[in-house]
Amino acid sequence: MQEIIESIRPVVETAQHVSIDDAALVRFAGSIREEELEDLELSRETLVASDDENDHIAFSFVLGALNFCFWGSRRERKAKGDGSQPHKWTIDVDGKRHDGSYALTHALLRGIREGYSLLDPRYLAELSRDDFAHIVRGAPEIPLFAERVALLRVLGQVTCERFGASFRMIFDEGGWDAVSIVRILVREFPEVFNDEVMYKGNTVKLYKRVQLVPSFVGNDLARLGVVTTMVTGLEQLTGPADYKVPHVLHALGIMRYDRELEQKIQEEVELPAGSEEEVEIRALMIEAVERIAKHTGIMPFKVQQVLWLRGQKPEFDKVPYHHTRTIWY
């Protein structure tokens, strides 16, 4: 999205803590395999059991609203005597243990199977803390619990008041164009989706979670055959700025940190949300993905997907990633 690219320009041009190694970037670009572009973040086992595409669209909104911060704080881990590694929220479903965003997906699907009306905006608008606690039961308590309940309530309330209690109507109003859908969500649901920060007097638009909604529907759900209406404009989406993709880019030597930031990350010192270091990591991640996309001709959100999926491999667990307590990623 052009407004994202324009807003990160001052960060890219003046960043003091983060830089991009273009030689390493080119090496990575040459390593992308054709089969990696066919991989999806969602799979058949992470789909709602429904033949109604409206249910799948609704699920993408609920997942997109909650897809952030799954690890306990350093202070919490220290108090509980946990090891040095981030203590992620995990769940057990059908004898399998999941963590991170996969755990969230499976917890929501489990809740739907148990009869919770998570796909109905009217239910979300009145969501109780007790219901949500049962839906996301795991170990330990999911981080930022109260914030997640509040986000789902706002998501439900605005969808009821503004879009006739229909998530699909948001796509219809946006003409099934990815950029238009993102802009509607940022405008109508600012508490949920308006991921903006200030950097040296400039507004920086990062829009991580909000871009996942049309990309999941237009790419993953469409290719899995559960949504048949085409989403256009996916090529204009940027790489969603989170912690996993910068982690992989850093491990690959594409993103470089100054000595002080490197030490903070190695020691798992939390970076405050909106701090210069944190904003530079997120903004230069977007820039790096854009450069890879231009070098390869691959859409930015697909480049991001390749990086994210590579980051699920065990070798990347050996490298610490930056930590920020925030609802945005």
Residue 307 near residue 321 (C-beta atoms within 8 A):
no
What distances in angstroms separate CA 184 from CA 146, 154, 233, one per listed residue? 25, 15, 15
Amino acid, res. 10: P
The predicted pLDDT at position 74 comes to: 56
**What would the two tokens of residue 133 be?**
């606690």
Does any domain span residue 327?
A: no
Task: Give 194's contacts (C-beta < 8 A, 6+ positions apart).
Answer: 186, 210
The boundaries of the domain holding residue 13 are: 2-318
Say whether the peptide bond before residue 140 is cis (omega within 30 degrees of 0). yes
C-alpha angle 73/111/314, rounded to 5°? 45
Residue 35 tokens read as: 């089969």
Per-residue pLDDT tens over the stretch 85-109: 457 899 999 889 999 999 999 999 9
Band of the pLDDT at 84, cuts 50, 70, 90?
Answer: very low
- List residues with catalytic annotation: 242
* 194-226 tens-digit pLDDT: 999 999 999 999 999 999 999 999 998 999 999
211 vs 207: CA distance, rounded Å: 6
**pLDDT single digits (tens) 129-138:** 999 999 999 9
Residue 297 lies inside a defined structural domain of this protein: yes
Q: 204, 210, 216: which is closest to 284 by C-alpha?
A: 204
The mean pLDDT value for 285-311 works out to: 95
Number of domains in the chain: 1
Is residue 308 included in any domain, yes or no? yes
Nearest 5°: phi and psi at 324? -140, 130
- Within 10 A of 290 (CB to CB), how many other CB atoms are there? 18
Considering the entire predicted model, what is its pTM?
Answer: 0.92
> pLDDT tens-digit profile of 31-83?
999 999 988 777 788 899 999 999 999 999 999 999 999 987 555 555 455 44
Evaluate whether residue 125 is within a structural domain. Answer: yes
Is 325 among the domain residues?
no
Within-domain flag for 121? yes
